[in-house]
Amino acid sequence: MRVLILGGTSEANLLAAAVAAAGLDAIYSYAGRTQVPVNQPLPTRIGGFGGADGLADAIRQQGFTHVVDATHPFATEISRNAVAACATTATPLIALERKPWIKMPGDIWIEVQDVAAAVAALPQARANVFLAIGRQHITPFATRPQHAYTLRFIDAAGGSLSLPDADLIVSRGPFTLAGELDLMRSRRIEWIVARNSGGDGARAKIDAARELKLPVIMIERPALPDRSRVESVAEVMQWLGHRACLGA
């Protein structure tokens, strides 16, 4: 058995620890989006594969017998590539995917389908807006230059920001409720834009918004292709363990 873990999330990190503890032969894969990704207790590769075909070649050439897609619910490209590459190479694939956040009593959510709809949902009048959606989807907000934006990236911007009135926080999660409350109060945040990533690493801002009775423009998850999916590391280990018995 040789497992390829497509990682880059808190859940992938927990899985890597379990796989390493079980002594399985596995490789952890990052896209290479951040400058200093978290170290893993497994051999790690960094960078794209070169599309679905490149991933299929890697599976063949490196002899992977199982693929676990433990990437992020908004990482749609790699997830689609994994489905295609595993179909082409007849390699078992499972997704480790956390549940979306569910709106709770007291939440003030404006649920939208995508970034463009999130931009359109902002008020016309100038407001203090917290864009907690990383760096890859900031440019569309330039059509609403009237707002004072607070952005949060994992690494420094490395160039000018595409928004005229923007303040950048460089911080990697997981985040805490106290920290998010402090950020929102000190910056007098009036609106939050978030993506329904689910999981614990990013949910503190949602809890803080509820406590402060602030509206959250919540971008819903994009559709992903059908594939086997589980929500816990234990279920992935069972899936690997089960197949190890049958297919060792």
Euclidean distance between CA atoms 43 and 179, whole angstroms: 33
Q: Give the residue with the Cβ less far from ligand NAP, 69 or 180.
A: 69
Q: How many residues bind ligand NAP (CB under 6 A)?
A: 23
Binders of ligand 3Y8 among residues 203 to 222 (CB under 6 A) are 205
Euclidean distance between CA atoms 225 and 84, whole angstroms: 10
Euclidean distance between CA atoms 104 and 119, whole angstroms: 23
Instruction: Give the pair of three-digit tokens for residue 175.
Output: 């985040």
Contact characters 161-200, ligand 3Y8, x per CB under 6 A: -----------xxxx-------------------x-x-x-
- Residue 143 contacts which entry, ligand 3Y8, ligand NAP, none (Cβ below 5-8 A, type-dependent): none
- Residue 203 contacts which entry, ligand NAP, ligand 3Y8, none (Cβ below 5-8 A, type-dependent): none
Euclidean distance between CA atoms 100 and 195, whole angstroms: 10
Euclidean distance between CA atoms 57 and 173, whole angstroms: 33
User: Please, are residues 191 and 217 in contact by the beta-carbon 8 Å criterion?
Assistant: yes
User: Please, are residues 110 and 219 in contact by the beta-carbon 8 Å criterion?
Assistant: no
Kindly list the distances between the CA atom of residue 115 and the CA atoms of 103, 122, 139, 246, in Å, as whole numbers in the listed order.
Answer: 19, 11, 10, 45
Q: Is 72 in the site for ligand NAP (CB under 6 A)?
A: yes
- Residue 13 contacts which entry, ligand 3Y8, ligand NAP, none (Cβ below 5-8 A, type-dependent): ligand 3Y8
Q: Which residues bind ligand 3Y8 (CB under 6 A)?
A: 8-10, 13, 30-34, 37-38, 72, 132-137, 152-155, 172-175, 195, 197, 199, 201-202, 205
Q: Which residues bind ligand NAP (CB under 6 A)?
A: 6-9, 29-31, 33, 48-51, 54-55, 71-72, 74-78, 81, 134
